[in-house]
């Protein structure tokens, strides 16, 4: 192979590797951002403003590029409202959990969304569970039990919030998979963000916790909305086109490892030995489930799952 051709082949590969590495780093910041916002603004309000910023940015992009076509909104209204409610509740619980559990442990527990998605696939979408998936699910559940059932009420509250958030997010993905196929991605993503923002506004108003952020909090909110939602999802779908679904999913499953590193660097917190042991079990079990799920999936099913995996928040 000539040097020129070799360079031409290696450049896309190097670019794809850099992008998926960037996705891993950005995806791992979800629980870190929730902890960073905690001292400056209440969780319910911070979640609202983060989602509102992301909605405005995506909507502005769609209008400038003339790619928003919202004529089908009425036809998909109820699924979109259900998805918006579930994502809003999930994000709210994630931000609330930052007061009780460190980002690394929260991210490890958040991987149970894969298990919940598997259970919903079995019960609702009539998918089948093979022996390897069953083994992975049991291993991951054992890890969850090790992390969750420890001394300290705060730890239990944080774990329950994260697990509840993971379940609601998996439920939203199942609904999205069944009802979003006829919508363009940008239309669906914008409407999902918009509905989520509306429900977060209702939640915050119901708790009488509406308040304008301080100037410093505004900077953080804009940063989080841009990086944790807009940039994260842009990287997600760009890398999804360049990498195999199995590799893509496995890389994202490893994001809690990066979250633990961020947690140590920014907050000086590290999960205990017991939490790390449970987290390793969760990761291994989830990896087994992900590998088996992708291996047994056809190309059509992979593409439909890509639409439903909108990511966090």
Residue 19 included in any domain? no
Residue 114 included in any domain? yes
Residue 300 included in any domain? yes
Residue 243 included in any domain? yes
Instruction: Measure the CA–CA gap between 28 and 256, rounded to whole angstroms.
Output: 6
- pLDDT for 179 equals 66
The yes-or-no verdict on residue 4 having pLDDT over 50 is no
> pLDDT tens across 296-306, in order?
554 444 444 44
Pick from 91, 90, 110: nearest CA to 102? 110
The whole domain housing 177 covers: 27-308
Residue 1 included in any domain? no
Average pLDDT over residues 155-184: 80
Instruction: Measure the CA–CA gap between 257 and 251, rounded to whole angstroms.
Output: 11
Domain count, the chain: 1
Residue 15 included in any domain? no
Average pLDDT over residues 40-44: 89
Residue 241 included in any domain? yes
The yes-or-no verdict on residue 268 having pLDDT over 80 is yes
> pLDDT tens across 217-242, in order?
999 999 999 999 999 888 887 776 67
Residue 12 included in any domain? no
What percent of the chain clears pLDDT 70, i.e. is strictly above it?
Answer: 78
What is the pTM assigned to this prediction? 0.78
């Amino acid at each position: 192979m000539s040097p020129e051709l070799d360079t031409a082949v290696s450049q896309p590969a190097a670019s794809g590797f850099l992008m998926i590495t960037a996705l891993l780093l950005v995806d791992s910041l979800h629980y870190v951002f929730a902890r960073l916002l905690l001292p400056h603004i209440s969780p319910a309000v911070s979640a609202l403003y983060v989602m509102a910023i992301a909605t405005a940015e995506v909507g502005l992009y769609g209008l400038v590029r003339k790619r928003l076509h919202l004529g089908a909104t009425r036809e998909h209204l109820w699924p979109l409202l259900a998805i918006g409610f579930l994502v809003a509740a999930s994000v709210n619980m994630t931000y609330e959990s930052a007061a009780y559990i460190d980002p690394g442990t929260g991210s490890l527990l958040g991987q149970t969304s894969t298990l919940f998605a598997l259970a919903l696939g079995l019960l609702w979408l009539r998918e089948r569970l093979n022996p390897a998936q069953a083994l992975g699910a049991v291993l991951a559940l054992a890890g969850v039990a090790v992390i969750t059932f420890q001394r300290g009420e705060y730890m239990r509250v944080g774990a329950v919030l994260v697990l509840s958030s993971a379940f609601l997010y998996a439920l939203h993905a199942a609904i999205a998979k069944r009802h979003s196929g006829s919508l363009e991605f940008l239309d669906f993503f914008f409407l999902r963000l918009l509905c989520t923002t509306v429900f977060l506004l209702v939640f915050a108003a119901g708790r009488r916790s509406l308040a304008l952020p301080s100037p410093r909090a505004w900077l953080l909110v804009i940063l989080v909305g841009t990086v944790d939602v807009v940039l994260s999802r842009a990287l997600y779908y760009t890398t999804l086109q360049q990498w195999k679904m199995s590799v893509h999913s496995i890389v994202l499953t490893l994001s809690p490892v990066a979250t633990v590193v961020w947690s140590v660097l920014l907050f000086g917190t590290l999960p205990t030995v017991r939490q790390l042991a449970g987290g390793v079990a969760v990761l291994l079990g989830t990896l087994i489930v992900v590998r088996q799920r992708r291996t047994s999936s056809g190309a059509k099913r992979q593409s439909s799952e890509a639409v439903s995996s909108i990511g966090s928040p």
